[in-house]
Structure 1
Amino acid sequence: MLSKAVLSQTEVTRILAAARAEAQANNWAVSIAVVDDGGHPLALERLDGCAPIGAYIATEKARTSALGRRDSKGYEDMVNGGRSAFLSAPLVTSLEGGVPVLVDGQVVGAVGVSGVKADQDAQVAKAGAAAL
């Protein structure tokens, strides 16, 4: 039987705090979503000034990253590289800003961020994931 780590509310709170601190340090109004390894929501925070759609997009970026076990940017790169058929893949958003959360080399969840430029969303998400 295999064993793996799972995110508790303690880790989720730490991830959100680190991502929020990165966003606020740059004056970025974003939404931050944290999901488990199956893409199920564990937490969502929409900072003041972020458009409501940011909450939805951040969650989808996180879900994509968790299910795909990679940064959501990889899917964006595929589409931009000409593989437009990938746009029809179920449960996948091809937008940068979702990053997996790794513990001992295993994906235990993901962070998704939306609200600013794609690379800035990814910067905030990576700050959150690095909190562990």
Structure 2
Amino acid sequence: MEHPHQKEELVVSTQVLAANAALRLVGHVIAHATANAWRVAVCVVDTQGVTLAAARMDEVAPPILDFAMDKAFTAATMRRTTEAFFERMDNSPSLRLGLANRSRLLVWGGGLPILHRDGIVGAIGVSGARDVEDIECARHALEREGLSFEI
């Protein structure tokens, strides 16, 4: 006898950024920040927002790494840049109020989803410099690996 759900998919498979690629992205961010005399922390996560690789440059305060992790988590789970999420939130008082009660969602610039072959495979978060500099570091790292962040 056929079960009524046999024709449905029971398991979903997703692609995730490889650990070695996550480590290279961290290295690219640190190299770019160093070349520009910026001090940052960086975190690369999988599609669920779980850390694959992270680093905090010398003399960067420990909470800055938490900010980078939260930016990456937000970009991965919300499937958009933290900057785009901020713009959406800025136009919605109810979203702004709701966000105040959610842990880990952070809308400062510097969190980017990581796309490979039109699918999100993770996210990167950079924090510690100005927002535009954090974004520049993250974009630079993705470009070095031939990855994108635009959906």
TM-score by length of structure 1 reads 0.89
Unmatched 5+ residue regions in structure 2? 1-8, 146-151
**2:121 counterpart of 1:125:** no
Q: 1:73, 1:94 within 8 Å by CA — same for their partners in 2?
A: yes
Where in structure 2 are the equivalents of 1:3-42 lying within 5 Å? Answer: 4-42=14-52
How far residue 68 of structure 1 moved from its aligned partner, in angstroms, is: 1.3
Match of 2:66 in 1: 56
Q: Which amino acid aligns with 1:85?
A: S
Measured in 2, the distance between the counterparts of 1:58 and 1:84 equals 25
Match of 1:102 in 2: 115
TM-score by length of structure 2 reads 0.79
Higher relative contact order (CA closer than 8 Å, sequence separation 6+): 1
- Of the candidates 105, 127, 135, which is equivalent to residue 114 of structure 1? 127
Q: Which amino acid aligns with 2:59?
A: G
SS in 2 for 1:59: helix
How far residue 29 of structure 1 moved from its aligned partner, in angstroms, is: 0.6
Q: Which amino acid aligns with 2:95?
A: F
Cα-to-partner distance string for 1:77-112 (whole Å, 9 max, x where unaligned): 12334x233232334211111001111010100100
Percentage of pairs with the same residue: 31
Match of 2:93 in 1: 84
> Quick one: structure 1 residues 84 and 28, their matched pair in 2 at CA, closer, same or farther if it must change by over 3 Å?
farther
Measured in 1, the distance between the counterparts of 2:143 and 2:76 equals 15
What CA RMSD, in Å, does the superposition of the two structures yield over aligned residues? 1.7
> Max radius of gyration: which structure?
2
Unmatched 5+ residue regions in structure 1? none
How far residue 4 of structure 1 moved from its aligned partner, in angstroms, is: 4.5
